[in-house]
Amino acid sequence: MTGTTRYDGDTWDLASSVGATATGVAASRALATNQREPLIHDPYADPLVKAVGLDNFNRMADGDLQIEDDQGGLVLDQREMCEQIAVRTRYFDDFFTDATTAGVRQAVILASGLDTRAYRLPWPAETVVFELDQPEVIEFKTTTLAGIGAEPAAGHRTIGIDLRQDWPTALTDNGFDPTRPTAWIAEGLLIYLPPEAQDRLLDNITALSAPGSRLATEHMDIDAADELTKRLDELSHRSGFGINITELFYLDDRTSPADHLRAGGWDVTVRSGQEAYAANGFDLPERVDVLGQGFGYLYATSA
pLDDT at 14 over 90: no
pLDDT at 68 over 60: no
> Which of the residue ranges 68-72, 175-179, 272-276, 295-299 would you say has the lowest mean pLDDT?
68-72
Q: Which residue has the higher pLDDT, 264 or 303?
A: 264
Nearest to 104 by CA among 112, 92, 116, 96: 96
Angstrom CA distances, 253 to 30, 35, 196, 221, 275, stand at 34, 40, 10, 10, 25
Q: Rounded to the nearest 10 degrees, how much is the dihedral formed by the CA atoms of 135, 59, 282, 189?
A: -20
pLDDT of residue 182: 98
Q: What's phi and psi for 296, nearest 5 deg?
A: -170, -155
**How many other C-beta atoms are found inside a 10 Å radius of the C-beta of residue 240?**
12
Does the structural domain 88-302 have CATH classification 3.40.50.150?
yes
What is the identity of the amino acid at 211?
P
Q: Please report which confidence band the pLDDT of residue 247 belongs to, taking 50, 70 and 90 as the band edges.
A: confident
Q: Would you say 186 and 297 are in contact if contact means Cβ atoms under 8 Å apart? A: no
pLDDT at 233 over 80: no
pTM equals 0.91
> Across 38-47, 185-194, 212-221, 243-252, which has the greatest mean pLDDT?
38-47
Angstrom CA distances, 244 to 116, 142, 223, 229, 252, stand at 26, 28, 18, 9, 17
pLDDT of residue 64: 87
CA distance 57 to 46: 10
Domain definitions of the chain by residue range: 88-302
Q: Which residue has the higher pLDDT, 75 or 182?
A: 182
Q: Please report which confidence band the pLDDT of residue 2 belongs to, taking 50, 70 and 90 as the band edges.
A: very low
pLDDT of residue 284: 86
Question: Would the CA dihedral through 41, 151, 154, 158 be positive or negative?
Answer: positive
110-149 core/surface letters (b: 16 or more CB in 10 A; e: else): bbbbbbbbbbbbebeeebbbbbbbbeebbebbbebbeeee
Proportion of the chain above pLDDT 70, given as a percent: 82
